Amino acid sequence: MTLRQLFDEIRSNVKKISLELGHPDIYFDVSEASKPEFGDVSCNIGFLLAKPLRKSPFEIATSIAGRYPKEKDGMILEVSVHPSGYLNFVADGNRLITSVVCASQDSAYGSFDLGGGQRAVVEHTSVNPNKALHVGHVRNIIVGDTIARILRKANFDVRVLNYVDDSGLQVADILVGFLFGGFAREPPEGQKFDHYCGDVVYVSMTGRYERDLPLAEKRTLVLKELEEGTSEIAKLGEDVTRRVLEEQLRTCWRLGAEYDCLNFESQIVRSGLWGTAFEKMKSRGIIYLENEGKNKGCWVIRSESDNDEDKVLVRSNGIATYVAKDIPYAAWKLGLLEDPFSYAKYAVQKSGRLLWATVLESTGEKIRLTGDKVITVIDSRQSRLQKIITRIVSGFTTEHKSYVHLGYESVTLSADTAMMLNLDTGGKAVQMSGRKGVYVNADYVLDILGVRTYEEAKKRNPDLGEESLVRIAEQVAVGALRYAMIRQDLDKIIVFDLSESLSLEGDTGPYIQYAHARAVRILEKASTNPRFDDPLDGLGDAYEKSLAKTIGKLDMQVEDSARNLSPKIIARYCYDLAVSFNAFYEHVKVLTAETPELVNARLCLVWSFKGTLAKGLSLLGIDAPDRM
């Protein structure tokens, strides 16, 4: 039994009694009691029936409590009524703990069937292939990857896409630098190609156009060549973007993120999707040809608000705006347009998962990557554009489709971190900008975290070999960075501080990982393996019960997180689970318990915690190390 099943049992009994008393059939809440002194579970039915019955909540709750079944072998020991009118229930500690421990042994423990096998597409990362990934990009990657993991646990059939803008201005800037800006096409020895392109070439070139007009004209020329896609310049562009993309993917894989397909913008532009979508929008009256005013001759989508202007999709000269390229792509992701692509095998990722890429040649394979639900992870600055896309796509069909923009706020650099990077910000936090060269590379942060955690792991584990220490250091480094990116609400700006991110204490990934390693250590020191078939008698201590109740919440947290597309919910659950275990560890003897039977029972509880925490961390894309 999990906590959900306990709540459902109580809800069923309370509803039956209420109906027998002639009360109206209403929905009421059953949840964990807010304070230990109120018991384990509380119910608010008295408040909801007070108005229709014209009685006090206390009177109604008391009448139900008196009829509640307290069976000899049942889970509930006591039912009481708080003076405020809440129904409170006390569960048999040993029975509750035993049922949770047994349930948690299932490999699918924590799963919840919210999706019913529905196909869901999650698109994230989508970083221009002209630079290395910085910490701002990492928030997008980690949010998207975590959402995909949670949706799979909630029984969605998930496909993960990465949109590659290989024909835009930022790629053109790199090519202008190589062709006309005096930059060598190869980085200095020891520097990664993506770091060289972003840190050196891109930052330098973006500052030169205003004072060098001929160079700006070259940029326009290069951009045109990229869009047409047939010239030597376009071939160079493809080579550069593929090399940068390869390095970006290595960073993503290092972070634990993987994909099903890379979708290249250049191929979307040349696929004919836009023409099909444009005709469909015209025929369905989604867009309008403006006959007067400043937008005369333009195709526009009407504004829904008097405060906003109509959005131009196609200018009077027939050129589509930047918004236009996103519309057919969004419709394609929902399967509303015929798929013009074939797919080629691009790479085998760290887990062995195959990565595909879109191709226009008919020699590729045909696979299905569209979904009934599409979640596009893009920062909140793109909210207006995403609302427009949602409106347009919803007009393509009468069928129920779902296009969701999952927005998040930006990552800023703290004043101290900016100072470490020799940036003069006047003692203030600063928003990261690849164009201005104001950012921290993800690789650099992971390397620094890895060095610090390696030294700590070596101190704590002098018996471990080099390979094991390096593996632990990488697990902790990735865990620290991933957790920092998802422990806050998505609508909150993250102020990234390099020093704080290195902390191994408090509300951090390493703190949670250490709780797992501590549990492993207890099990290793035991003289015998946990015996789950033996009676788990003697359990019921307040710390044991608190830990078991937290273990029993995993499936409810998965449901809540999947419904709300909130990775923070699982992050907070893992932290609470670690806190509960550490309190248990400090106050309850395991290996030196009074009897061998109690030692075994507590080892089973520790094992249950270890497995559940590992499942929770896996949803966050964080490894659960055995040693720290």
Which residues are within 8 A (CB) of 163 and not within 5 positions of it... i.e. 6 or more apart? 123, 125, 126, 263, 265, 329
pLDDT single digits (tens) 436-446:
767 788 998 89
Of 127-141, 411-425, 515-529, which gets the smallest average pLDDT? 411-425
Q: What angle do CA 137, 139, 145 make, to 5 degrees?
A: 105
Tell me the pTM: 0.93
Q: What string of DSSP letters covers 43-76?
A: E-HHHHHHHHHTS-HHHHHHHHHTT----TTSSE
Give the distance from CA 47 to its chain's centroid.
37
pLDDT single digits (tens) 157-176:
999 999 999 988 899 999 99
Query: Domain map of the chain by residue range?
Result: 3-91, 413-501, 509-619
CA distance from start to end of the chain? 32
- Cβ(323)–Cβ(388) under 8 Å? yes
pLDDT single digits (tens) 295-317:
999 999 988 777 778 889 998 98
Mean pLDDT, residues 389-408 taken together = 84
Spatial distance between the Cα atoms of 272 and 270, rounded to a whole number of angstroms: 6
* Other beta carbons less than 10 A from residue 361's beta carbon: 9
In this structure, whether the domain defined by 3-91 belongs to CATH 1.10.10.920 is answered with no
Residue found by looking up tokens 């074939």 in the block: 342
What percent of the chain clears pLDDT 70, i.e. is strictly above it? 98
Exposed / middle / buried, residue 582 (Cβ in 10 Å: 0-12, 13-18, 19+): middle
- Cβ(155)–Cβ(114) under 8 Å? yes
In this structure, whether the domain defined by 509-619 belongs to CATH 3.40.630.30 is answered with no
- Cβ(337)–Cβ(328) under 8 Å? yes
Spatial distance between the Cα atoms of 167 and 271, rounded to a whole number of angstroms: 14
Virtual CA dihedral for 141, 146, 149, 154, nearest 10 degrees?
-140
Virtual CA dihedral for 162, 164, 170, 171, nearest 10 degrees?
140
pLDDT single digits (tens) 38-77:
999 999 999 999 999 999 999 999 999 999 987 767 899 9
Coil, strand or helix at 360: coil
Q: What is the amino acid identity at position 463?
A: D
pLDDT single digits (tens) 566-585:
999 999 999 999 999 999 99
> For residues 232-253, b (16+ Cβ closer than 10 Å) or e, as one string?
ebbebbbebbebbbebbbebbb
Contacts 24+ apart (CB under 8 A), 425-431: 429/495
The pLDDT score that the predictor gives to residue 299 is 93
pLDDT greater than 80 at residue 400: no
- Cβ(38)–Cβ(82) under 8 Å? yes
* Both structure tokens of 578: 């670690």
Domain pair 3-91 / 509-619, same fold: no
* Other beta carbons less than 10 A from residue 430's beta carbon: 19
The C-alpha R_g of the chain, in whole angstroms, comes to 29
Residue 355 φ/ψ, nearest 5 degrees: -105, 125
For residue 37, give the DSSP letter.
G
Coil, strand or helix at 113: coil
Q: How many CA atoms lie within 13 A of 270 on its CB side?
A: 17
Spatial distance between the Cα atoms of 357 and 163, rounded to a whole number of angstroms: 10
Residue found by looking up tokens 């048999």 in the block: 92
The pLDDT score that the predictor gives to residue 89 is 97
Spatial distance between the Cα atoms of 203 and 546, rounded to a whole number of angstroms: 54
Residue 46 φ/ψ, nearest 5 degrees: -60, -40
Q: What angle do CA 223, 225, 226 make, to 5 degrees?
A: 65
